[in-house]
């Protein structure tokens, strides 16, 4: 007779059960934040950025959710607005949305970012993030960027981000980027492709800069393809720079194809810098009607 199989049940300590289960749980995603200015204590400070309207986690230099967040400002003031932020590791910041419908945002040291990848020691990735301005005020000297990579010793990948402006008042000396990488110490590659700016209303002050793709500071190869700026309404101030793409400071070559600027039905006081004839011959088409 075959003896019965004896099964031994082992009770795991709670701490072990916790660590076995937690890695199986999906990462937190999709936080919704709406700010009307009634509670300024809702703004957060981190190591590299302060006065931030964002999902929770800025104090840890990484929002609890990095993807599919929605941040809406309807009133009050915030020096920075961020849809998703990562300043500590190489996890990607993706699919976040920021809406400015009222209030006052940005400063000469801050701005409005759909996705912000600011890890100084590794790769920075921000894809598919967006900023939409439908009202309110963007202060002089601020930055509007769909997706951004800051100073890093690694690579930057900033693709398919966007800024859309249909209303509101944008101040003077404001930089508007569909997506951009700006690093004083980048030692890797920079891929900044398919980013766009679309303007159909609102006003933009003097001395603004508007780019689809923008790259500055990479020491290895740069790609900045398929950047676009489309302007079909509103008012653009004097001495405005408008380019589908700009790439600078590479020691290993730059690829920047299929960039475009399309302008129709808009008042532009004067434009300081549309693409040159040489740039147009290198796939930098400009259409103005």
SS3 41: helix
40 φ, ψ (degrees, to nearest 5): -60, -20
pLDDT confidence of residue 184: 66
Q: Which long-range contacts (CB under 8 A, 24 or more apart) does 40-49 make?
A: 40/76, 43/78, 43/79, 46/85, 46/87, 47/87, 48/87, 48/118, 48/150, 49/80, 49/82, 49/85, 49/87, 49/110, 49/116, 49/118
- Note the pLDDT of residue 33: 97
pLDDT at 195: 97
Residues of the chain short of pLDDT 50, as ranges, are 1-27, 275-289
The closest of 163, 43, 171, 47 to 107, measured between CA atoms, is 171
Helix (H) or strand (E) segment spanning residue 57? none
- Secondary structure (3-state) at 131: strand
């Amino acid at each position: 007779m075959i003896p019965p199989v004896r099964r031994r049940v082992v009770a795991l300590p709670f701490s072990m059960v916790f660590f076995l289960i937690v890695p199986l749980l999906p990462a937190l995603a999709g936080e919704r934040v709406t700010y009307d200015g009634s509670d300024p204590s809702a703004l957060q400070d981190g190591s590299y950025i302060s006065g931030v309207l964002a999902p929770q986690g800025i104090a840890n230099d990484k929002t609890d959710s990095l993807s599919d967040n929605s941040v809406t400002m309807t009133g009050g003031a915030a020096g920075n607005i961020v849809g998703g932020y990562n300043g500590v590791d190489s996890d990607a910041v993706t699919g976040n949305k920021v809406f400015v419908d009222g209030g006052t945002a940005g400063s000469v040291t801050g701005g409005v970012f759909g996705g912000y990848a600011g890890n100084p020691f590794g790769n920075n990735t921000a894809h598919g993030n967006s900023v939409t301005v439908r009202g309110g005020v963007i202060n002089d000297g601020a930055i509007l960027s769909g997706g951004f990579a800051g100073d890093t010793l690694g690579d930057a990948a900033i693709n398919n981000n966007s800024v859309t402006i249909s209303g509101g008042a944008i101040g003077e000396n404001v930089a508007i980027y569909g997506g951009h990488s700006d690093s004083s110490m980048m030692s890797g590659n920079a891929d900044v492709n398919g980013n766009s700016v679309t303007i159909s209303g609102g006003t933009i002050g003097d001395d603004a800069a508007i780019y689809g793709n923008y790259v500055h500071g990479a020491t290895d190869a740069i790609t900045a393809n398929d950047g676009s700026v489309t302007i079909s309404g509103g008012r653009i101030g004097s001495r405005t720079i408008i380019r589908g793409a700009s790439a600078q400071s590479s020691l290993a070559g730059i690829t920047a194809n299929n960039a475009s600027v399309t302008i129709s039905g808009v008042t532009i006081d004067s434009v300081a810098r549309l693409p040159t004839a040489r740039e147009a011959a290198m796939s930098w088409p400009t259409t103005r009607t």
